[in-house]
Amino acid sequence: MRHFRLLVVGNGVSAYGSYLNMVALNVFIYDVTDSALAAGLFMAVRLLTSVVSGFVSGRLVSAYDRKRLMVGADLTQCVAMIALLIAPDGGRAGLLYVLAVVTGFCSTLSGVALRSSIPEIVGGELRMRANSLLATGRSLAMIAGFASAGVLVAELGYVAAISLDAVTFAVSACVLLSLPIRTRAQDEESGEKGEAPSVAEGESGKAGKAGKAGKGGGAGRGAGALLLLRAAPVLAVMIALRAADGLGSSSHNVALPVYSSDLDPSHPATFVSQFWATWAIGNIVMQQVCGRWAGRGGRQGPGERAFAIGACVMSAAFIVVFAGLPTGVAVVAALVAGMADGLTEIAYVTRLQAAPDEQRGRLFGLSASVENTGFGLGMLVSGALLDHFSPLQVVGLLHGSAIVLCCGMFVVLVRQGREAGREHAEDGEHAEHAEHAEHRPEARERTGEGSVGRTGDSSVERESEAR
């Protein structure tokens, strides 16, 4: 964990650079082109690249050293920022779209590589604690990045902001290079075959077979990932629910500025700032709670039920935020939404990390593509709906759909748990009956134990009479 804490610091610095350039580059491209369409196209290119790169990242993470991939992603983004700085003014507009592709691909690749490597870096029993530390670092980086971007651009200019962005990626790459960490399973590095770790209660045997089926070449690994999802259908449902969460999250992201402007037209940014600050506090608090809870007894994670409940609470809290209630109530709802969001993030990532190492990269790559697809589609749907409906109706529709799906998942999990409990009880009863049957006198006679005992006793009696 000592090395991992240093990795968290380096990743936090890199995340700060990512959030900084999300603001600085969006403003910069609008300033260079003087076109809102160009700024929107920049965001669309970056998001589309993130969707496509999820599948590519899964293949790369499964085939190559993950530490080198993360270092390469950071250095590539650093070089891209420097190229933007030294490019002539006339060529910067076109280079910005290239930068959108580079940053979208590299950020997705780095995230997939790091998440799939955590069980190998800290051990499977500490992965939940490691996830909470990593999520806390990224949350703090998000707050710092969004808060400082406007000040840096306004006070120091774009050159200073983009230069600082390049430095953050270089620092992250240096930290990664200096750490003696292993990012792949030991049996894969040595080329030896080993047993795949279990995936979850009730699915470990099936998933273990799927993991073994996926060993071998790239095509085998791809087939193994599909077999893993078929053998562990809860994983597939959880990934689908993350897409639904992406739809809901995009709705409140799009509706928030509109709702804040309706509340206070003279200060439209006030409620937005209050909302995100409170949400971030709740998110960080829950991540710390999960980390401390995992530190006691080496707990593995909240589990699928906690994920479903947390997603329901999160979506319901976001709906309450837009219900037109007093500001104090809305802020409390934002705090609850942040805490529930932190819980679902930890539960989800920890659950996917229980998959076999040779399939883990593919799962996280698929997850990244699905989440980004849901978020991007939700941005389009929400933007179109807000022209005809109120923010509450739009947020209620998309987050309400997520609530329905999560409730369905929870019901299925409860039924599976009851069925598993009945099967376990029936197996115990059968074993108990079999044990009693073995100790009955009739059973001993059938096996010959009773006759031997009686013969032995009579011979002893005759011997004593003869004496």
Encode pLDDT of 351-367 as tens digits.
888 888 888 888 888 88
DSSP secondary structure letters along 42-62: HHHHHHHHHHHHHHHHHHHHH
- In order of 6, 46, 113, the CA distances from 110 in angstroms are 16, 15, 5
Return the closest-CA partner of residue 149 out of 18, 280, 10, 14.
18
Dist CA 241 CA 399 (whole Å):
11
pLDDT at 329: 92
Dist CA 334 CA 238 (whole Å):
24
Record the pTM.
0.76
pLDDT at 182: 79
Dist CA 224 CA 339 (whole Å):
35
**The residue type at 379:** M
Are the C-beta atoms of 21 and 329 separated by less than 8 Å? no
Dist CA 185 CA 402 (whole Å):
35
Dist CA 7 CA 4 (whole Å):
5
Residue found by looking up tokens 């580079």 in the block: 102
The answer to whether 1-183 and 207-442 have equal CATH topology is yes
Residue found by looking up tokens 């689908």 in the block: 240
pLDDT at 74: 93
pLDDT at 460: 41
Q: Alpha-carbon Rg of the chain, whole angstroms?
A: 28
Fold exhibited by the domain 207-442: Growth Hormone; Chain: A; (1.20.1250)
Tokens standing for residue 150: 């406007």
Collapsing DSSP to helix, strand or coil, 191 comes out as coil
Dist CA 355 CA 241 (whole Å):
18
Return the closest-CA partner of residue 18 out of 196, 155, 133, 144.
144
| Region for residue 297 given its phi and psi (left: phi exceeds 0; alpha: psi -120 to 50; beta: otherwise) | left
* Positions in the chain short of pLDDT 50: 190-222, 224, 443-467
Dist CA 369 CA 462 (whole Å):
87
Q: Where are the domains of the chain?
A: 1-183, 207-442
pLDDT at 72: 93
Residue found by looking up tokens 């409390």 in the block: 332
Q: Per this entry, what is the length of the chain? A: 467
Dist CA 97 CA 287 (whole Å):
35
pLDDT at 396: 92
Q: Which CATH superfamily includes the segment(s) 1-183?
A: MFS general substrate transporter like domains (1.20.1250.20)
Backbone angles phi, psi at 355, to 5 degrees: -70, 160
pLDDT at 428: 52
